[in-house]
Structure 1
Amino acid sequence: MNELISIIVPVYNVECYLDACMASILNQTYRNIEIILVDDGATDRSGRMCNHYAKLDKRVRVLHKKNGGLSDARNKGIAYAQGEYIMFVDSDDVVSLDITRYLYQLLKSNYADIAICDPIHCYPGKEIVFEPETSQWIFEPEDAIAEMLYQRSFLVAAWGKLYRKKYFDHIRFPFGMLFEDSAVMYKIFDEAKRIVYSNAKLYGYMHREGSITTKEFSRRDCDILIICSQIMEYMSHRSEKLQKAARSYQTAAAFRIYMNAPRNGKFDLELKICNKWLQENKKLVLHDPGIRLKMKLALFMYKFARPIMPLVYKKINRWK
């Protein structure tokens, strides 16, 4: 089989990165793709560059729109996608030339509905070396959701995954929010029947100054508190396993805000909520065998060594 796969690429002020991103997509070994470039009101040359790619390759479709953020751009791309399957690639990242073929074959050979690979962390000017798989796992939806919320293996990110498009028929990314992936991935997984994950590192996640993940803490960083409350509500009538996993994710989010929010009076309410969650969850989470060692250590420090937490937190790699 050689089904059409839609690759959705939101584009906003990435003129220095877009060529590398598009070179990695246009040269995919899996050829039956459509590339949907969503120009999210770029103010640099990115929009014109999108038009150039459309002239170069008939598989490229360009949508120009007013700036609405990453979620809005992805949602527009989903609405226009014609493929049986979809992928998301951020326009400042790069992917292995084989990622589409690999994820498609991974999905098909395992009779799965979603296929997942790992990222390789990239930095401007550094060589990118993708890595083959050494292991793969099959998950039922509940097990995959728990794995994701416990943050044990694959990431909650929308990129690095291949999905049946129909799962997005009634699910969209929340407009204007950060952590938009956290708001929808558990719902998408819940729609699937079977999910396959490989630890092959085929998605090049680019770390750069000025990206969302490197900006200073802002009010929007607190969006994760809203999303965690939604996840807790969603799981409140589900299995004990999912409720525990949701509580672990909520606790991790509380730590993120607790450790990063400035103590300048502007975030007092959010810090109060985080302290409340940490107090309520610490005993339950500590007795949960599913949580990561990193979380256990953080909870112990919160309880017994709170003054030195900022020193330790600076040395923690948030990607592991």
Structure 2
Amino acid sequence: MDVSIIIPVYKVEKYITRCIQSIMNQSCKNIQIECIIIDDCTPDASIDIVNGVLSDYKGDVKFIILRHEKNSGLSAARNTGIKASTGRYLMFVDSDDYITDDAVSKLWNAHLTYQHAELIVATYYSVKDSCPFDNGIDKQTLVDGKRLRKMLMNYQVTCNACWRLIPRELIINNNLFFTPGLLYEDILWCHRLFALVESAVVLPDVVYYYENNPNSITNTTKEKAIRSVRSYAYNCDEMLKKPYKDVYVDHQLYVLTFLMRALDTRRDYKVRGEVSKKLNDVRFRLVRSTLSEGRLLLGLFFLITYQPLYSLFSCRWFRSHYYMLESFIRHRANFLDSIFHRNN
């Protein structure tokens, strides 16, 4: 197979028909596609709906349905799909989302144009916001690994496994599987993936429709708050262990973004105990690792994660100006980095 599309299924009976039909509608006669659907022990009628949609399908996409013996979560389902896949390239689609009719062909044609590129990255349309994500690219562009990592750190490219084409060999050879039981698993997975990439093709094209499912795990409730804080802390800790040295300033500020989300969740839901202590350890590590690299300006800025500065930035007016301040720090710190660290 050329492309394996991996779709985990759990409690998506409202959305699954649209998702599967978008795979069936792919306009790519010269591309061999398989779609691996993983039933993660969904308790609703999602898989019955899938079987009904596929019952009369006579198209070119090969559909395979696998079933977990017990509910294992999104990461484990994706890992099952990766191991079962036979395509040279992989594409992840969440079952409450859907792709454009030309999604695979656009990504595949970019691969054919730049066959040495290790990653093909497009963009998505947010159904909730009724607008596409703007990655700042106006035409198909080949970028090196450093620029790609900088684009990720500056939010021009999202930390999401979807709307991109990834070589299966790259994933298998580097043991790049998703961490089971982790929320926001895409953050760390993309961080590890982008560390391996030496060149990529970035497209301005929308190939994916992202649905804001109110039942999604990303919609935090009080019951999920502890898992949320724990997962953010774990992601930040792992990213700090292997920072992007070639874009160090941007990397540390990127970690700060997720650390602030964790701190906000801990405050809003009054998370205490071992999880809170772990978050404090990660916060200290961010400041310490930054100062140990000689980035005094960054280290001082990271003190906003501590009281009383954190309370100050919790106020609406200060938080609304946070990104302006972060941008100022980013440019000043990168300027200092270019003077004192680039040649080291």
Say whether the fold is shared (TM-score over 0.5).
yes
Alignment partner of 1:114 is 2:122: no
* Post-superposition CA distance 1:188-235 (Å, at most 9, x none): 334444211122222111112121111225222121222222222223
Q: Distance in 1 between matches of 2:319 and 2:48?
A: 40
Check conservation: 2:144, 2:199, Cα contact below 8 A: yes
Name the SS for the 1:209 alignment partner. Answer: coil
How far apart are 1:152 and its partner, in Å? 2.7
Q: Distance in 2 between matches of 1:177 and 1:208?
A: 19
How far apart are 1:242 and its partner, in Å? 4.1
Alpha carbons of structure 1 residues 142 and 311: separation in structure 2 relative to 1, 3 Å: same
Alignment partner of 1:250 is 2:255: yes
RMSD: 3.2
Alpha carbons of structure 1 residues 285 and 212: separation in structure 2 relative to 1, 3 Å: farther
TM alignment of 1:282-297, pairs within 5 A: 287=297
TM alignment of 1:46-195, pairs within 5 A: 46-57=46-57, 59-65=62-68, 66-111=70-115, 112-123=117-128, 134-148=138-152, 150-169=153-172, 170-195=175-200
Check conservation: 1:121, 1:205, Cα contact below 8 A: yes
Q: Distance in 2 between matches of 1:202 and 1:210?
A: 23
Alignment gaps of 5+ in structure 1:
289-295
Check conservation: 1:255, 1:274, Cα contact below 8 A: no
Q: Which residue of 1 aligns with 2:3?
A: 5
Alpha carbons of structure 1 residues 33 and 230: separation in structure 2 relative to 1, 3 Å: same
How far apart are 1:56 and its partner, in Å? 3.3
Alpha carbons of structure 1 residues 29 and 282: separation in structure 2 relative to 1, 3 Å: same
2:212 to 207, 212, 215: 207
* Post-superposition CA distance 1:156-188 (Å, at most 9, x none): 100011011111212211111112122222333
TM-score between the two structures when normalised by the length of structure 2? 0.76
State the aligned residue count: 302
Check conservation: 2:27, 2:102, Cα contact below 8 A: yes
Alpha carbons of structure 1 residues 164 and 265: separation in structure 2 relative to 1, 3 Å: closer
Name the SS for the 1:79 alignment partner. Answer: helix
Q: Which has the larger radius of gyration?
A: 2
Alpha carbons of structure 1 residues 287 and 100: separation in structure 2 relative to 1, 3 Å: farther
Q: Which residue of 2 aligns with 1:15?
A: 13
Alpha carbons of structure 1 residues 122 and 285: separation in structure 2 relative to 1, 3 Å: farther
Alignment partner of 1:38 is 2:38: yes
Name the SS for the 1:171 alignment partner. Answer: coil
Tell me whether 185-194 or 87-96 shows the greater mean CA deviation: 185-194
Tell me whether 16-25 or 133-142 shows the greater mean CA deviation: 133-142
How far apart are 1:141 and its partner, in Å? 2.3
Check conservation: 1:137, 1:197, Cα contact below 8 A: yes
Check conservation: 1:53, 1:60, Cα contact below 8 A: no
Check conservation: 2:19, 2:98, Cα contact below 8 A: yes
Alpha carbons of structure 1 residues 77 and 309: separation in structure 2 relative to 1, 3 Å: same
Alpha carbons of structure 1 residues 130 and 97: separation in structure 2 relative to 1, 3 Å: farther
Q: Which residue of 2 aligns with 1:292?
A: none
Q: Which residue of 2 aligns with 1:227?
A: 235
Check conservation: 1:258, 1:275, Cα contact below 8 A: no
